[in-house]
Copies of this chain bind each other. A is one copy, B any other.
Amino acid sequence: DHVIVLGYGDLTEPILTELTEGDVPFVVIVPDQARAAELSDRGMNVITADPSDEEPLQRAQLADATAVVTATNNDAEDALAVLTARQLRPDVRIVAAATDRENVKKLKRAGADTVISPAAIGGHLLVESALGRGDTEDVAEKILEDEGTTESED
């Protein structure tokens, strides 16, 4: 009934914030000791290990997990982590973020159920806004607000 977050990148803090605010139990597996200590000091469940190794995934109780999220800035590491998680548990939900849009298909082939490309979404919203089409911030805020997790709510 918990979520396993693999690695640490630009998307990780927003992910951890959403999980915390949603009262969703989670474990983070990060290779960097300083980062692990910092997250642990903030009260999070942390395992200091390579997120694409089998042992830490088992220690994080992958067998009972609801989902695995992998969203580092390194798509190759994400792919390796997805392959490991999928091999250990064919039926767990795996979601991933492709830093490079071209890696969406590869991450799916590695076993991710859902892959999004924040850069593609962000680039699109920026260009729409630059050309004065629609209200980009409204679109962005609507996405963020649909579960009431944006800072602008009050």
Chain A interfacial positions (CB closer than 8 Å to B): 3, 10-15, 17-19, 22, 24, 66-69, 71, 93, 95-97, 99-101, 113-134, 136-137, 139-140, 143-144, 146-147, 149-151
B11 pairs with A71, CB closer than 8 A: no
Q: Are B13 and A127 in contact (CB under 8 A)?
A: no
Question: How far apart are A140's CB and chain B's nearest CB, in angstroms?
Answer: 5
Q: How many copies does the complex hold?
A: 2
A128: chain B residues within 8 A (beta carbon) = 147
Residues of B close to A150: CB separation below 8 A: 120
Q: Are A123 and B93 touching (Cβ within 8 A)?
A: no
12 contacts between A and B (CB under 8 A): A11-B119, A15-B126, A17-B123, A18-B123, A66-B131, A93-B132, A95-B126, A95-B129, A95-B130, A114-B136, A114-B137, A118-B119
Q: Kindly report which residue of chain B lies nearest to residue A10, judged by CB atoms.
A: B119
Do residues B71 and A130 form an inter-chain contact, with CB atoms below 8 A? no
Given contacts A22-B127, A66-B131, A114-B136, 4 further A-B contacts (CB under 8 A): A10-B99, A67-B131, A69-B126, A71-B126
When chains A and B are docked, how far (Å) is the Cα of A117 from the Cα of B118? 9
Contacts of A126 in B (CB 8 A): 11, 15, 69, 71, 95-97, 114, 116
Contact call B116/A136, Cβ cutoff below 8 A: yes
User: CB distance A14 to B123 under 8 Å?
Assistant: yes
Q: A12, A113, A144: which has the most chain B beta carbons within 10 Å?
A: A144
